[in-house]
Every structure is written in C-alpha cells, then in structure tokens.
Amino acid sequence: MVKRNIISVLDMKDDMPQLVELAEKLKKERGNHGEPLRGKTLAMIFEKPSTRTKISFDVAMSELGGHPLYLSARDMQLDHGETVEDTARVMSRFVHGIMYRAFDYKMMDRLGDSATVPVISGLDNLEHPCQALADMLTIKEHLGSFKGKKLVYLGDGNNVCNSLLYACAIMGVDMIACCPAVRMPNAEIMLGAARIADQNGSKILASHEPLEACVDADILYTDTWVSMGDSTSEEVAVKIFKKYQINQELLDIAKPDCIVMHCLPCHRGQEITDDVIEGPHSVVFDEAENRLHAQKAILLTLLK
C-alpha cells in the first residue's frame, strides 16, 4: 500500500466526508473499538506546547489498541544538528506513523517526504488539518449539514484559518475570512480554496468588516490573536484585532441558532468575551472533544 501523509487539509480532499462519517461512528463506539491498531506505534514529535493535540492523539492510540510515544524535539538529536531527513528515515524503522507539531511547514514537508511511514501534522505555521477535521465533525453534529451554511472566521488569518478555508471549500460551507488587511490568510490557500468551493457551489470570501460579515452567520469562529512562534506583542495585537472580537454585538446579528467555535486555547476578553464562550451558542468543548474522534478516524485510515 502506498503510504499517505496528512499534512494539509488538501491531503483529505478526496475523502473528507468519509473521514467525518468514520469519526462519527468511532465517537458512538465510546472507546470500544476492538484494538484495530494493536502492535502499532505512533511517535509524536512536539516543537511547541500542546494540551489537546498531545492528549487526544495519546488517548486515540491507546483506545485503538496501539502505542503512543511522546517526543519533545528539544530532547532529540533533531534539535542538535541531525537533519530532519535522517530523523525521518531512522524513525520509519521503529514506528508505524509520525505525528509532528512543527514551527516551520518546510520542516513538516521534509519529514513527510523522507519518512516511509505516514506523517500527520499536529499543526505548523501554515495549517492545522486535524483541527479542521474535528471542526467539520462539530459542525455536522450541531447543524446537521454543510451545504449553504455560512461560517465567519474572525481575527488572525493564521494556520487554523488556512485549514478551515480548505475544509469549508471541500465540504461546501460558505466561508468569510474576516481579518485585518495586514493579517489576511495565506493568499495561495485563499485562491486554492476558492477554486475548490467554485466546483462545490459554495463561496470563499474575504472581509475586513465584522459588522457586515457576521450578518446571518451560522457559525462564528475565532482563534488566538498571537499564535505560537508569532513575535507580535500583545499590545500591538489588541490594536490590530480589537474590532474582530467575538462578542454579544456580533452574535446579535448572526442567525438566532448560530454556533460559536474556537480551537482553544482562548484568551477571554481578547478574541472572545467570557459571556459568549460560556453562553448557550458556544460549542468549544464539544469541538475540543472531537479532536479525539477525528484523529482516530485519521489514524485508522492511515495506519491500519
């Protein structure tokens, strides 16, 4: 079998609906899966901190009968001069899959190219594909379908936003990236997503005006204003992003049953207000839980 990486949402372009369905099925099984990954090891390399990604991959591997192996990049030769290519080739002799959280997407690509086992991105500076799959599962659970739904992403056009653009385009969700002009999503990804959306009869749009973009939205989505590895100061970020905060004023112009999403961790009082994240529209903790189920679907598809 040809090995498969998932380092961009585009790597799920042909089977994202099936992956969402598999994740739904696995969620219903509540951890009783009959150990389909018995004897398999997933190595997880982290260059940056993580709560959700680390724990959900760890538990996913255990519940599927396999073995998770946590590795901090700092403690590996990778951080002391060994090339990522040699690291990938050596690791491929020991383990059945590699999950990698990297600063630089070029390192992710190099690992993906050199490993002979599947490589799964646990986030880099360009994308966060596992988050986007969990987000699609969350949308399906709460809204029932994708076509014709309107998602407005507010704030920094970052890795999470880039992956959402592709995921929405693939699943047929209309998406507006509502970001300041200086922090729009990756231009190539915007274009690529718009092309896919075109084929699916949906729309990918950009806006700088939250009060216009959020009218009749089904989903309001935000993420931190300063991502890991971003040198923007909090003071500057507050100035740039202030009007993109998800608050009651924006919720009031969205659809009455609008859901509010955030990949977490969040900064209450910055990109989202405390009352909104704790309010009845917020689905952020379902969204966090769904990382587990979405990643099980990915692990089963790539490692079984």
Catalytic machinery residues? 101, 128, 131, 223, 263, 291
> Cα(62)–Cα(49) distance, rounded to whole angstroms?
21
223 makes contact with ligand NVA (CB under 6 A): yes
Q: Please name which of 89, 111, 90 lies closest in space to residue 99, comparing C-alpha atoms.
A: 111
> Cα(214)–Cα(259) distance, rounded to whole angstroms?
12
120 makes contact with ligand NVA (CB under 6 A): no
Token readout for 112 is: 């993906």
263 makes contact with ligand NVA (CB under 6 A): yes
Nearest distance, CB of residue 143 and ligand NVA, angstroms: 23
222 makes contact with ligand NVA (CB under 6 A): no
293 makes contact with ligand CP (CB under 6 A): no
x/- string (CB under 6 A) for ligand CP, residues 237-276? --------------------------xxx-----------
Closer residue to ligand CP in complex, CB, 18/51: 51
Closer residue to ligand NVA in complex, CB, 61/134: 134
Q: Sheet harboring 219-222: ordered strands across?
A: 204-207, 174-178, 150-154, 219-222, 259-262
Nearest distance, CB of residue 225 and ligand NVA, angstroms: 9
Residue nearest to ligand CP (CB): 53
Q: Please name which of 165, 299, 141 lies closest in space to residue 221, comparing C-alpha atoms.
A: 165
51 binds, among ligand CP, ligand NVA, none (CB under 5 to 8 A by kind): ligand CP
> Cα(252)–Cα(247) distance, rounded to whole angstroms?
9
159 makes contact with ligand NVA (CB under 6 A): yes
Closer residue to ligand CP in complex, CB, 200/232: 232
Contact positions with ligand CP (CB under 6 A) in 82-141: 123, 131
72 makes contact with ligand CP (CB under 6 A): no
126 binds, among ligand CP, ligand NVA, none (CB under 5 to 8 A by kind): none
53 makes contact with ligand CP (CB under 6 A): yes
Token readout for 84 is: 């990522």
Nearest distance, CB of residue 10 and ligand NVA, angstroms: 19
Closer residue to ligand CP in complex, CB, 213/294: 294
Q: Kindly list the residues in this chain that would bind ligand CP in the complex (CB under 6 A).
A: 50-53, 123, 131, 263-265
